[in-house]
Structure 1
Amino acid sequence: EKPLAEDARRIYGPTTARRWAYADSKAMDEFLALALHEERGLDCVIARLFNTVGARQSGQYGMVIPRMVERALAGEPIEIHGDGTQTRCFCHVADAIRALYGLLEDGGTSGEIFNVGSTESIRIRDLAERIRAATRSDSELLFVPYDEIYRHGIVEEMLHRIPSIEKVGRAIGWAPTRLLDDILAD
């Protein structure tokens, strides 16, 4: 479970698998911003947000916590992709905003990439259990195999996604202050 640094190698998937479109389009945006910074002096800062979560967030676009909470409150099965052993970290939106503001206000961050997220890791299966407990739901946990989710097959799914936040900490003194329990209480 090595934290993912800003300069870590990326995982690429085939262009025929829509699952990779989001990550690849973000990478292209970074390439363009950094090129414009180098070639034309564009003042830009790239912030890579890792699973930012807040109250009243919609699960419409696949956000795991809002989707699980909605299903738990409705008494519907809570879907877990794969076996639920994959780990993720969740950052409260107020912490993310504080980081973004600090990065924009600091004069020494232009042309740099910074990870913004929490390093408090949790298995998705355990997250579902905590959401069930927090909502007092008796929803069942429904494990859905990856091949049912990704019709073209899954390519190198990241089982553990933990950001390295050392760089942003050094640059602006930022670290998240809210824990997963605070996020779920929201």
Structure 2
Amino acid sequence: MRTLVTGGAGFIGSHLVDHLLALGHEAVILDDFSSGSGANLAPVADAVTTVRGSILDETAVEEATSGCDTVFHLAGAVGVHAIVNQPLESLRKNLVGTQTVLEAARRHGTRLLFVSTSEVYGKNSKVLLNEDDDRVLGSPLKSRWSYSAAKGLDELMAYCYWLQHGLRAVMVRPFNVVGPRQTSRYGMVIPTLVQQALAGEPLTIHGDGAQRRCFCAVGDVVPALVALVMNERAYGQAFNLGGSEEVCIREVADRVLRITGSDSPVVHVPYEQAYRSGFEEVPRRVPDTTRARELIGFRPRTSLDEVISAVVAHKRGRVRDTVNYTSGGSR
């Protein structure tokens, strides 16, 4: 299999490239390196073909897609901070860029897996969110929701390409994927807290820290991406991928302190200081992964403490920044 990974120099993308190479597949990477890092690809640089360019550049997308039979589309705006602070550029990347990739995949007759986000559910705080649940969004004038709106439209475009053009497209909604190589630059909570703890700085929590989330190891998610795009019963569908261990953010901070051995204090930062005025947070977001479990046997195996420990080890530079990927199956 010859694969294209857009955003292949990023956190999830580079781990996906490692996994594809380990499986014996060829890998082509399309990345403008605006958020990804060449260091993520350094160990495999000689084994991959890298096209430096944006998903907004039709010529670069065409060059990267040519000869590939599978596309993993991960490129786009990254993190809530980027979305809030650069909403127009984020919309362009996530809408126009995705359409460019979809059209190239249609022309070349490839399979395509689109990595969406749990943000598509918006403010829906149902106990377990499944793929058919309603999207509950705030005002379109609040930039907090531009990312959700764009990714939702991206999913719709991918679905329509499957429906009207027969594109073998799969949509995936990851819930808080974490692991080595993830940067704190875009406000990702666990890398940020770990970096602060190791530096002896205060651990900053936005709001009261009661927000509840499920975190999932990148090593549990990456094999599932490959399994889904290869399964013809997945085409035209969306799949949640996430952990099963629900935890509040304050508890995450406490675990980081315990695992790092840091005596840093925990401080609470009001949302109006961290983001623009009118920012809305989601109090709870927990995935129902039944659909992925029933189709490909997806079952996260890595505990939250193990995830945090892997991030700590990577930040300390004590271990090589690769992970052991699971099969995506049950224990």
Scaled by the length of structure 2, what TM-score is found?
0.54
Match of 2:155 in 1: 30
How far did residue 36 of structure 1 move?
Answer: 1.2
Q: Does 1:165 align with 2:293?
A: no
Secondary structure of the residue aligned to 1:108 is: helix
Measured in 2, the distance between the counterparts of 1:2 and 1:150 equals 27
> Residue in 1 aligned with 2:118?
none
Alignment-mate amino acid for residue 91 of structure 1: C
Larger Rg, first or second structure (1 or 2): 2
Superposed, which structure 2 residues align to 1:5-84 within 5 Å? Answer: 5-84=130-209
* Identity between Structure 1 and Structure 2 (%): 42
Inter-partner Cα distance in structure 1 for 2:252 and 2:220: 20
1:61: how far off? 1.4
Whether contact under 8 Å (1:17, 1:152) holds in the other structure is: no
Partner SS for 2:232: coil
Where does the alignment leave 5 or more consecutive residues of structure 1 unmatched? none
CA distance in 2, matches of 1:151, 1:185: 32
C-alpha distance in 2, partners of 1:86/1:121? 10
The answer to whether the Cα contact below 8 Å between 1:19 and 1:150 also exists between their aligned partners in 2 is no
Cα distance in 1 for residues equivalent to 2:273 and 2:142: 14
Structure 2: runs of 5 or more not aligned = 1-125, 311-331
- Aligned AA (1:16): L
Post-superposition CA distance 1:13-63 (Å, at most 9, x none): 223322222222111100111111111111100010111111131111121
Q: CA RMSD in A?
A: 1.3
Instruction: State the TM-score, normalizing by the size of structure 1.
Output: 0.94
Aligned AA (2:306): D
Query: Counterpart amino acid of 1:49?
Result: P
Q: How many residues align?
A: 185
After TM superposition, where is structure 1 displaced by more than 6 Å over at least 4 residues in a row?
Answer: none
1:140 to 258, 261, 265: 265
1:151 is displaced (CA, Å) by 2.4
Per the alignment, residue 15 of structure 2 pairs with none
